[in-house]
Each structure stands twice: as structure tokens, then as C-alpha cells.
Structure 1
Amino acid sequence: MEIDAGRFTVRLARDEQDIAAAQRLRYRVFVEELGASASDEERALRREIDEYDPHFEHLILIDKETESSDPLDRVAGAYRLMTNDRAKAGIGFYGSTEYDLTLIETCGRPAVELGRSCVGSEVRGGAAMHLLWTGLGEFVTARKIEIMFGVASFHGADPAPLAHALSFLHYNHLAPEDLRVRARPENFAAMDRLPPEQVDRKQAARQIPALIKAYLRLGGFVGEGAWVDHDFNTVDVCLLMDTSRMVSRYRDFYGKEGKPAAPAARTPGDGSAAERSGG
């Protein structure tokens, strides 16, 4: 799978240098911009790395017009993707460190975990995120994926200021019981922090990141409870999308033949730095 779109090319990583370039972008966004913790090795290499990377497939957006001469600076957008087959053959889903994923692991349906999604500041707010979604659409169609999921982040590790957003998600977008994964107890934070009548929808809308809104527009759900991630300085929710429950919106976005539809006036995720779905 490869999409050539003028300045950008979207494809799966082919070698270790491709993966290293995705890790360099992740370091710039998650560590330098958003304040995630990093090891001495990561700081020396300027790459955000974990033990799950070798088990994921990495979808990358290559900027052919980058001004940097360093080949590790050529990746301007990234996702990492793990199918349930790869999870079973490797070390499992990253999201299982935060959520009990038994419902997904035992449902018998093709699934993919989405993770470490980000775009560089130099291309943010344009076509970059839409092109990544286009590549994701081709991946999902080719692999016949039925369930997409991953943790998605609010910046800051205190759920209290996010009470309106978290409560809104809980009351309006809670996953059906057969997909309602639950945050693990160690860092569990209740999402129904306010009574329904006290939730300010406008304030909630201001707090919810653009990429979470985009998944919700496509018919996504959230799991039960949030996870406070102090290492990444985030509050995470688990987003889930079931293609059988969102057929019309899914087809409208990706096109009737599984090919991406034309971008809307505001493409999903415009302007967002990152969304650590799937970790």
C-alpha cells in the first residue's frame, strides 16, 4: 500500500530507518512538545521508543520537501498499527497495560489497535492528518478489519479539570456492553464526574481534542473509565469503532469501494498535534 500525494507519500514502514524516523517524530511531539517523560537513551537518540515497536506495523507520512538533511526528519506523520493476529503472536496489545481488553481479545473478530498517532508542527492543520486517515482506510479495507480501538489522550494528568468532557463522553458515547472495555484499577478515573444535568456541552466540546471528535463523528465509542498516565502527562480514554455499527458514516468517509472519499471542509484531526491512540 502506497499513496503518492505530491509533497507527501503515505505507506507502511519498510525497514528500521523508517521506524527510527517515526520514533524521531514521536519524540518531537510527545516529549518536546507535550512533556512526556523520556529515558536517557531516548534523549540521546531523540527518539521515543518502547518494547512494543517491533511488534507494530508503522504507517508513515513522508515529507519529500523537508528542509532537514537528516533522513530521520523526513517522517511528518505516523500511526502504529497492531492487528489481533500480531498481538497474539507477539507481546499482546499495548492498550492492555491500561484497559482490560478481554472483550476484544475473545470476540473472534478482526481488530486493529491504533497507536502513537501524530503529525509534525510544520505540516499541522493541512492535508497531513487526512492523508494518514486515507492510508489507515486502505489498511482497514485490505485487512478486512471490523474493530478499531486505542487509547486517546487529553493533555495533562489531572482528570478534575476535564470533568465536563469526560462526563459528556460517558453519558453520550459509552460503548455497548459487548465492547465496553474497562480501565484497569491502578490508575482508574471515573468519567461520570458530574451529574448529567450539570454537564456543560459547550465546555465539553472545547476540551475534547479534535481527533477524539473525529472518531466520534464516525460513530466511535469510549470504554468505561479513564486512565491517568503520569509518564505521558495525559488522561486517556479508550476509543472503539465497530464497522458493523457505523457502516454509513464509515463508507461516507472511506468511499463506497473502500477508497477514501474527498476531504470534507474540515478533515478529521485538523490542527491536532497528536493523539496517542493505542499508546
Structure 2
Amino acid sequence: MNAVKKGKIRKAADFLQELSKKFRFRLRTYRPNVTISLDSRKYLVKTVENGDELGDVLRLRHEVFYRELLEKKRFRGKDVDKYDFQFDHLVVIDKEAGQIIGTYRLNSSLFSDKFYSCSEFKMDNIVSLPGVKLELGRACIHPDYRSGATIAALWKGLGTYISETATDCLFGCSSVKTTDNLTIALVHYYLEKNFLAPEELRAMPKAKFRTDKYHKMLDMIQEKRFAPFREAAENLVPPLMLSYFKAGGVICGEPAYDKAFKCYDYLTYLDIKTMDESFRKKFTEKKNEEVCC
């Protein structure tokens, strides 16, 4: 091995060691902006309170986003970025198993003016809206717990967080895990027809995330022979994403194509004031009751 190659390897090792030190420090000093805790017979729903709990969240996300969806492993076995140490993390814990089974990353404009969604979308019109805004991201559920019960528990915790922060609107990137042009064309046809935001809430993907690969498919699926597929398109929308629309959420336009995660991200928006009444009562009113399920 020549000296140049050895030097590059040594520099890479030094970089990884320094990165690891910084990561451990930020993990050790992590504290939440808002602390909530809802207990029930089966689940504990809370915001993570320390680095140990945050580490468990990052490992769960790695297992789902990298090992399951991308079939690869990332450095340290954790899905982590610069936002994780600034934002809150809502989790659902299976009390019997003693493990985190679901999580949401929560970014309130009360504590930060930096939003992950802005890395993918031109959305100054949304960021500049009055009131408290809450960005949702990195939604993740353990494969053994992907049910309505887990989603309901996450929403219950989210409702408490909304109340604690007096949030006016929610937004965030909602992912459709596919690279198939026909699939995303059918999903987009269904969402655009039923849940498109008004013009003042539209946002465009940034150049790096823009694609028109599925546009030809959009024209093709208008044909009569595709009618059964168009009618069944709702079944292609992820359950958690569907719950946003049932609550009154909308998409802000065309999706961004995330090459790294091999998925399409829709910027979704939900105004608390116009939220579906049944959802608003269930998730935004403070009640002295246990978490469902």
C-alpha cells in the first residue's frame, strides 16, 4: 500500500473518530423542548427525555429506513441528521416489550426557524404564515406494530403536543415508498383530484428534487382501460398519510423525488382550525383520559 493511500485511510479514520465524538457529545447533552407523557395499560406515549431514548429512536429509524427499505446499513447503525438534536421526538413504547415501536420527529416554530421540508421544497409562503407551525417528519413504525392502534397512539401524543404548544398548523414531508412511475402516477392522480391545496398554499420541489418521469404515465392512466386502477389508487397511499387527509390535510402540489431514500415526498399541510371535527376533538382537546388501545 503506497503512502498516498495510507494517508487517505488515516484521514478517513480520523474524520470518523471526530464525528463519533461529536455525535456522542450531542447525544449525551440532548434535552427536549416540550415534555409530555400519556400512560395506558398497553402503551406509554411520550417525548424522549435524554440521549439514551433518542439513541433508541435513531436505531429504530435505521432499521426501518435503511435495513428494511433500502436494504443497507449506515454508519453507526443509526438514522441521524443535524436536525435530530434540535427537535423533539414523540415515541410510542410497548410497555410489556419495553421497546419503542413508533416515532415522530416534531419541530415547532416556537423553538426553531429551520425546517427540514425547506431542503426539498420552495415554501416561503408556508413558512411565513402567522401563528405557531409544527413540522412533522421521520414518521416510523416498527414492522410488527403497523396497525391502527399504533397510529392512534401516535396521534394521541401529537394532539397533546399540539395543545401544549398552541399549534395553528401542521406540515411536513409525507413519503410514498416507491420508484415505480405507474404507482406514483396513480397516487398523484388520486391525491391531486381529492386533496389539492388552494393556490396560496402551493409549493414546488427544488430543482434537485424535481422530476417529471411519471408525467407520461399520468396522461396514460386517463384512458378507460385504467379506470379500475384509478378507482383503487387510494389503496396505494400509506395509512399514516391517509390519516392526514381524513383529518382535513392537503398536498401542496407535485411531489419531490428523494433519490437517497428512493421515495416520493409530498409536502402536506393541515390547518388546525379547519381540521375535521371528529379528529380535532379526539386529538387537540385536553382530556383526563388514558391513551386509547
Structure 1 residues 187-236: Cα deviation after superposition (integer angstroms, max 9, x where no partner): 22358733895564323112111111111111110011111111111111
1:277 alignment counterpart: none
Gaps of 5+ in 1: 68-73, 268-279
What is the aligned length?
A: 251
Conserved 8 A contact 1:189-1:225? no
Contact 1:254–1:261 at 8 Å: present in 2 too? no
Deviation per residue, 1:108-138 (Å, 9 max, x gap):
2211010111111232225222111100011
Alpha-carbon shift at residue 248 of structure 1 (Å): 2.0
264, 270, 288: which one aligns with 1:235: 264
Q: Structure 1 CA distance, aligned partners of 2:199 and 2:72?
A: 34
Q: CA RMSD in A?
A: 2.6
User: Do 1:149 and 1:239's aligned partners in 2 also have CA atoms closer than 8 Å?
Assistant: yes
Whole-angstrom CA distance in 1 between matches of 2:124 and 2:48: 29
Determine whether 1:50 maps to 2:85. Answer: no
Which residues of 2 match residues 102-117 of structure 1 at below 5 A? 102-117=124-139
**Please, which of 163, 171, 178 is the counterpart of residue 149 of structure 1?**
171
Does the 8 A contact of 2:272 with 2:280 survive in 1? no
Would you say 1:167 and 2:189 are equivalent positions? yes
Deviates more, 1:201-210 or 1:30-39: 30-39
Deviates more, 1:4-13 or 1:151-160: 151-160
Matched, 1:216 2:245: yes
Alignment-derived partner of residue 18 in structure 2: none
Which amino acid letter does the alignment assign opposite residue 280 of structure 2? R
What's the TM-score once normalised by structure 2's chain length? 0.77
Distance in 2, Cα, partners of 1:164 & 1:30: 23
Distance between the aligned counterparts of 2:269 and 2:177, measured in 1? 20
1:178 paired residue among 194, 200, 211 = 200
Q: Cα distance, 1:185 vs. partner?
A: 2.3
- Which structure 2 residue ranges, 5 or more long, are not aligned? 1-35
Q: Report the TM-score, using the length of structure 1 for normalisation.
A: 0.81
Name the structure where helix makes up a greater proportion of residues. 2
Residue 130 of structure 1 is matched in structure 2 by 152
Do residues 99 (structure 1) and 121 (structure 2) align?
A: yes
Following TM superposition, by how much is the alpha carbon of 1:169 offset from its aligned partner in structure 2, in angstroms?
A: 1.0
- The 8 Å contact of residues 36 and 232 in structure 1, kept in 2 or not, is answered as no
1:38 and 1:48 in contact (8 A); partners too: no
What is the CA–CA distance in structure 1 between the aligned matches of 2:154 and 2:181, rounded to whole Å?
Answer: 29
Q: 8 Å contact 1:253–1:261 — kept in the other structure?
A: no
Q: Distance in 1 between matches of 2:288 and 2:266?
A: 27
Larger radius of gyration: 2
The aligned residue for residue 92 of structure 2 is 61
Give the corresponding residue for 1:83: 108
Q: Letter of the aligned partner of 2:171 in structure 1?
A: F
C-alpha displacement of 1:263? 9.5
Alpha-carbon distance in 1 for matches of 2:110, 2:264: 28
Question: Which whole-Å deviations, capped at 9, do the CAs of 1:21-47 have from their partners, x for residues lacking one?
Answer: 1011111111111117653x2xxx321
